[in-house]
Structure 1
């Protein structure tokens, strides 16, 4: 079974090092919380709000140990007025026996406000 695992984070400003640092932190937390390894991943979709232009977040993921062969694609989110700024969203497509109810979606920094119903303390 392939399950989608969602995650999001925000950065303080559009600087490459922040894009890479926060993206890597988010993806590692998603992997830890859901007990999967890169070999379990079918693909990864990463989106950013249009105010992030300094770096590709996928670079941070590809540099993680064991992730260099995982298919990853980056794109921009819709530019909706009032949307959370400087936001990076990740959707992992993971082969897992974990039930939909037991998947842990991860929201960090200001992104916790996107889905407070999914944020676990």
Structure 2
């Protein structure tokens, strides 16, 4: 008898701040965020359904999806959009919502916030 693990569709949130509005900075920060999300959630690319990225309006030098492509995630559907420009909100921030098949319970999903983005979810730290 072959036993298969049970998978559930889960959403993994994350965000990272970017030092400057350059392609290198945006792609590097996004890549670091995705690598940590994958590592913390034992996530393999073939388990990723899709990824939605948003960036603050002050980041327009590159698409954050390029960071996922740099990881070799070429088959994952990616979408980029601009975050709402709320006065006083965190500047130079890339946010992500990863939809994936995971074996863990909802409360065990590891959301990842790096740099100044940890201020977005102080309840997680």
In structure 2, stretches of 5+ residues that fail to align are 1-7
Deviating runs (4+, > 6 A) in structure 1?
none
Structure 1 length normalisation: TM-score?
0.95
Q: How far apart are 1:5 and its partner, in Å?
A: 0.2
Q: CA RMSD for the aligned pairs?
A: 0.7
Matches within 5 A, 1:1-121: 1-65=8-72, 67-119=73-125
Matched length:
118
In structure 1, stretches of 5+ residues that fail to align are none
Structure 2 length normalisation: TM-score?
0.92
Higher CA-based Rg: 2
User: Aligned partners of 1:33, 1:10: CA distance in 2, in Å?
Assistant: 19
Q: How far apart are 1:116 and its partner, in Å?
A: 1.2
